[in-house]
């Protein structure tokens, strides 16, 4: 599974349907309440141009289609260039994410799921959920991901009271 996710992130968008099928089948079976919308983690325009696809948006669209949940593709954007999170430690990731995102003016519903492909430290999820709570304090935020890297994940960031629940297909990546 970790090989498939790595392939998906690095040039194989055709794996979207398979990964979405597995996520719905194995990560959500006991989910009592589904969100009102799925929010894919925004990507930078230069990363999109380099990769030529937005993997979390593709995944969100497939999962949303299977579950009949709308996807809010433009709910937030990356403000400016940041270094790749993948190559940074926890403290560097937090500094890198300060003011990295901008929330759109479109209102969000009361229950949302932030979708990320891989959660490494939880810094991106924490930054995005904090931004949502600043604008919409009553919103319930879930974190959905294909994988978490447990050796690097920060439980404090992942379950800080800002993210109400997590749904993950693969616990080791």
Measured distance CA(107)–CA(163) in Å, rounded: 19
Q: What local confidence, expressed as pLDDT, does residue 100 receive?
A: 79
- Residues forming beta bridges with residue 147, ordered by sequence position: 118, 170
Q: What local confidence, expressed as pLDDT, does residue 80 receive?
A: 63
- The answer to whether the beta carbons of residues 134 and 162 sit under 8 Å apart is no
Measured distance CA(157)–CA(125) in Å, rounded: 8
For residue 169, tell me if it sits in a domain. no
For residue 105, tell me if it sits in a domain. yes
For residue 114, tell me if it sits in a domain. yes
Measured distance CA(78)–CA(133) in Å, rounded: 18
Structural domain tally of the chain? Answer: 1
For residue 45, tell me if it sits in a domain. yes
For residue 170, tell me if it sits in a domain. no
Domain CATH number, residue 141: 3.40.50
H helices of the chain, where?
A: 2-9, 16-22, 45-51, 55-67, 90-97, 123-135, 155-158
Which of 16, 128, 31, 116 shows the shortest CA–CA distance to 78?
Answer: 128
Measured distance CA(159)–CA(149) in Å, rounded: 15
Measured distance CA(56)–CA(62) in Å, rounded: 10
Give the pLDDT of the chain (173 residues) as one tens digit per residue.
Answer: 888 888 988 889 999 999 999 999 988 877 778 999 999 999 877 676 677 888 999 999 999 999 999 999 999 988 765 555 566 665 666 666 666 788 999 999 999 999 999 888 788 888 899 899 989 999 999 999 998 876 655 555 554 445 656 666 655 54
| Structure tokens, 1 | 């599974």
| Range(s) of the domain holding residue 16 | 2-28+35-164
Measured distance CA(16)–CA(129) in Å, rounded: 25
For residue 133, tell me if it sits in a domain. yes
For residue 68, tell me if it sits in a domain. yes
Q: Which residues, 6+ apart, have CB-to-CB distance to 17 below 8 Å?
A: 62
Measured distance CA(63)–CA(120) in Å, rounded: 21
| Structure tokens, 115 | 């979708």
């Amino acid at each position: 599974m970790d090989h498939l996710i790595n392939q998906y992130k690095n040039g194989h968008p055709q794996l979207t349907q398979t990964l979405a099928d597995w996520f719905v089948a194995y990560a959500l079976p006991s989910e009592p309440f589904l969100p009102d919308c799925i929010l894919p983690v925004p990507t930078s325009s230069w990363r999109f141009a380099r990769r030529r696809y937005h993997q979390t948006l593709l995944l969100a669209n497939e999962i949303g289609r299977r579950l009949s949940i709308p996807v809010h593709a433009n709910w937030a954007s990356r403000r400016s260039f940041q270094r790749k999170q993948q190559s940074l430690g926890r403290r560097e990731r937090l500094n890198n994410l300060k003011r990295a995102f901008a929330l759109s003016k479109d209102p969000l519903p009361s229950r949302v799921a932030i979708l990320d492909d891989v959660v490494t430290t939880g810094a991106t999820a924490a930054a995005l959920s904090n931004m949502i709570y600043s604008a919409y304090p009553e919103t319930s935020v879930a974190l959905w991901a294909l994988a978490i890297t447990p050796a690097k994940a920060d439980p404090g960031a992942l379950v800080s009271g800002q993210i109400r629940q997590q749904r993950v297909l693969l616990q080791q990546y």
